[in-house]
Structure 1
């Protein structure tokens, strides 16, 4: 039988072991905090906490089960405090806003190459503490904090004052100074695309922080007049047709932005004098608004160049020095190529799947075959689907799968021979993809297992129906040769030439 002194000595030893383990745990929490900062992950993970407590309750003697929750809830609370502190202390340059998981700002600033750059999802009730700490050296600000952030500043640049919104804040020896490089980025983008707003009548969709920047800029550029379309004013989407003679439309709303691709409230066909359609959205690379304009042969500008340019000018403010402006085009081209899907179209058996796999391996991109995805979803072959459920069912399923897949970036995608026939599919394809048409000699196309091309005559008829659609949709046409390695080299060279021609 142990005495009290011996029991206390054992407890002291156990407590020392617990403290060492807690110390080790907190060191790992610091590493996790840095990882979450660098990968834009939330500090909290309630489901994991509940799972840990439940597992530990199952491990401990039932007599002591009730002690697990209060002890570990306290540990988790302190762990979150430490993780948040680590994120604050190591957040020197970055972006603050809400829902930043699809932001390209980190990639752009790290391509600029002057500093580590992180994304920080911040809730409204966390803003006071964040700005009070002033741990950062330079930050960019996005939705919904471009206007509210101004209240935390010691000084605001005159341009940003006039606009009424900031997107860049620099910490100069503890003083927070706000700027608006969205203005500079949009101005650069207009010049790059050769768009002149002088004497133009401009319709601005949206009334938020980005809209305020545009209102200032279009007047500075000598626009004849501008009107802001907003859901809450008399100039709204219901009355937009009274501005049918306007020459420029600029979208400054998130309508049509990922993941709500293909949304638009404007029928461009009702505008009879449009010269330019501009969308500040960069994901997807082409919104429905942009695609509608291209269909009407109206000159367009999307938001990617502005995004890169505003980041460049923000970087100059962070560093307080001028840097090489040619970086804007280099980063734009790299970012655009990384975001683009490479999508293959062509007749059945033209080599889309085999070339797609090889392209994916060569470019280190994930490869998807829409026909394969359809078969997996239905657990049937495509001929079986045609026989059992009909072509309409198959085409509807094809559109559904393409709609979801085409929202993504940086993939290689092989499509079915009939995929481009529907106009909605062509829109899905063009929003994010560099389209390559593989044109293989009809004599070399296989017919086995092809429900719509069972013989050469069927193939010839299909080709006549589809040839013009393929050619109109494609950015690149490749005449297929019967050597896969050489064919791959041809495709890669054509892609390189195309990208260089777009510089």
Structure 2
């Protein structure tokens, strides 16, 4: 049987979220495929590979498939990079080095810290090996304990844990969640959370301590893979590239009062930044779920808000690299903001009531029927807009100046 020849690929179960092709293209590999499978070993029956990245749940299968292993793979039983040379499969654990390089790039010093790893899968095992090798005290907690060192939390750990390393797939795109596996409010000395996942970029967990996601670790894994495949060191600023990639993939979410210009500005940003554009009010209207349609059909504001929240969750769970313009009242439900923040930068277009009054026409605005209503709604919402915003923009400027200011502030945000 003639096999398909595939130079390099990522093997996993669900890969629709993966950024690996983009990263490998950055390192001059445009022949990198994504292969989803429910049977790791079967894919070798039909395909001839020369280099493979392997993601969960197949890292232990990859170890067993390889004949020769590097030192880290030998000591962990985990392989996430495979090379086929001289009719032999070589297995490497580049997760170890990618994790170490991420800590170095972020200047994270774990010495003299008490670390808690959440999860007991392949990546947890690799990180545990790294911590052991560097004499860093750690414990493991898992929903399904396997080993004696996997603990149940008590007051000792709540009082003494300084760093949490999150290795589970809980809340990972597209199944994002507005809660956490643990009650982080009980950790009295928690300094930082390191997440090996990168999507969402800022999960709900990020609210509880200094947070680092796993995008840089992914970039380093791609770089290490390409160095092994291409056979020579690659000079690249992985941290700078990860920041650029983050800026490209993040959603930009516009909040603000009616008449603040969210739709108009969102469309211009969509064109300038090459991101898709979604307007929650326009989408709801197309489904006859906008507030006017709801009221005309005998439904109430509560019904409208429920549908608005469902749409916000859907967009937050399925879209990235997008501009999302929201309705003026989206901030009235904190769950909406929690979802939007997970993959989005929240920008508040702060226009004064005098500016809003000059723009208003009162069409299709059941909650703003007069000039006085603008003052009332503005005073009710202003504090919430400011509270939830990552960036606040003076919305009283001409549209082109507002757009220019947003783009400058976004550049500062992602390069901070």
TM-score in terms of structure 1 length: 0.75
- Candidates 321, 325, 330, aligned match of 1:410: 321
Three-state SS of the structure 2 residue aligned to 1:406 is helix
Deviations along 1:51-109, whole A, 9 cap, x unmatched? xxxxxxxxxxxxxxxxxxxxxxxxxxxxxx87xx3xx21x1111112122221111110
Structure 2 CA distance for partners of 1:312 and 1:320, relative to 1, 3 Å: same
The answer (yes or no) to whether the contact 1:206–1:228 under 8 Å persists in 2 is yes
The reply on whether 1:277 has 2:193 as its aligned counterpart is yes
1:338 maps onto 2:267 in alignment: no
Q: Which residue of 2 aligns with 1:136?
A: 49
**Distance verdict in 2 for CA 1:355–1:237, change over 3 Å:** farther
- Preserved contact between residue 27 and residue 223 of structure 2 (Cα < 8 Å): yes
Structure 1 outlier segments of 4+, above 4 Å? 233-238
Q: CA deviation at 1:332?
A: 1.0
Contact 1:218 1:226 in 2 (8 A): no
Distance (whole Å) between structure 1 residues aligned to residue 166 and residue 43 of structure 2: 34
Taking the aligned partners of 1:403 and 1:240, their CA distance within structure 2 comes to 31
Distance 1:165 1:443 in 2: 62
Task: With a CA cutoff of 8 Å and minimum separation of 6, indicate the structure with the bigger relative contact order.
Answer: 2
Q: Tell me the alpha carbon deviations over residues 396-426 of structure 1, each in whole angstroms, 9 at most, x when there is no partner.
A: 1111100000121011110011112221111
Q: Which residue of 2 aligns with 1:321?
A: 232
Per the normalisation by structure 2, the TM-score is: 0.90
Distance 1:482 1:114 in 2: 44
* Structure 1 position 478, deviation (Å): 1.6
Aligned to 2:73: 160
**CA-based RMSD:** 2.4
2:400 corresponding residue in structure 1: 485
The alignment covers a number of residue pairs equal to 407
Cα distance in structure 2, aligned partners of 1:224 and 1:380: 54
Q: Distance in 2 between matches of 1:302 and 1:129?
A: 31
Aligned to 1:104: 19
* Alignment partner, residue 7 of structure 1: none
Q: Are positions 1:93 and 2:8 aligned together?
A: yes
| 1:466 paired residue number | 381
Q: Tell me: CA distance 1:180–1:422, structure 2 relative to 1, closer, same or farther (3 Å).
A: same
Bigger Rg over Cα: 1
Per the TM alignment, residue 497 of structure 1 is displaced from its structure 2 partner at its CA by 3.2
Name the structure 1 match of 2:291: 382
Give the conservation status (yes or no) of the 8 Å contact 2:353–2:374: yes
**Structure 1 spans left out of the alignment, 5+ residues:** 1-80
Matches of 2:378 and 2:133 in 1, distance apart? 53
Match of 1:423 in 2: 334
Secondary structure at the counterpart of residue 130 of structure 2:
helix
Q: Is the 8 A contact 1:284 1:432 kept in 2?
A: yes
